[in-house]
Amino acid sequence: MSAHVHVQTHDSTTGTTGTTGFTGTTGTGRKSAGTTARISRAGAVSALTLAAVTGTVLAPGAASEAQAATARSKALSVAAAQKGDPYKYGAAGPHRFDCSGLTLYSYKKAGKKLPRTAQAQYNKTSRVSAAKRAKGDLVFFHSGGSVYHVGVYAGSGKVWHSPKAGSVVKLEKIWTKSVRYGRVR
């Protein structure tokens, strides 16, 4: 049996709506040759139906996760571009940074807003296990329950950070197991 389905779409980013038509074959209809079956019910189409008709599956949250991955990648690039910039307590760029100033600046350039201090950034991010960490996630160094330092995870057990007075933004191997990972959403 042949069917033609009109699906009304709505783009929440632009506020526009549109109608898309799909034609295809359904089930094992018992109509005689030349008879057209019509779908008379209009309404919402489930993700499963849309996938069956269009061949595309979009999992809930997939778009936001892709956006977060793009922001992580951009933030990592921005942090790396600050290589050699000097540490200055309380500075958040563009040419001097303390640890949380570097992460704030990097994510701001990636279109994300973070609070100013390492502890506040930790409180704002989503926890990620070491096994699921990704490049661009934040690395929080802690002593007991208090976060005292933060950097941007670079992969391979390394972090971009602005460590202390007299030092510069640099890439270093993570030197302790007292770290937690946070994902900026």
Q: In terms of DSSP bridges, do strands 138-143 and 146-155 run parallel, antiparallel, or are they unpaired? A: antiparallel
Hey, what amino acid is at 135? K
**Residues of each domain in the chain carrying CATH 3.90.1720.10:** 62-183
pLDDT confidence band for 65 (50 / 70 / 90): confident
| Residue 6 is a catalytic residue | no
How many CB atoms sit inside 10 A of residue 91's CB?
17
| Mean pLDDT score, 170-184 | 98
| Residue 161 is a catalytic residue | yes
CA torsion sign for 76, 80, 86, 92 is negative
pLDDT(1) > 80: no
Task: Judge whether 93 and 102 are in contact, CB under 8 Å.
Answer: yes
How much is the pLDDT for 43?
47
Catalytic residue among 4, 6, 95, 99: 99
User: Mean pLDDT, the chain, as a whole number?
Assistant: 80
Alpha helices in the chain (DSSP H): 47-54, 62-81, 99-109, 118-124
| Residue 4 is a catalytic residue | no
How many CB atoms sit inside 10 A of residue 98's CB?
24
Beta-carbon contacts of 10 under 8 Å, excluding residues fewer than 6 positions away, are 16, 17
Beta-carbon contacts of 25 under 8 Å, excluding residues fewer than 6 positions away, are 1, 2, 3
Q: What's the half-sphere exposure (Cβ side, CA atoms, 13 Å) at 28?
A: 0
Fold of 62-183: endopeptidase fold (from Nostoc punctiforme) (3.90.1720)
Between 73 and 5, the higher pLDDT residue? 73
Give CA 67 to chain center in angstroms.
4
Look up the pTM and report it. 0.67
Rank 51-55, 62-66, 105-109, 143-147 by mean pLDDT and report only the highest: 105-109
pLDDT(19) > 70: no
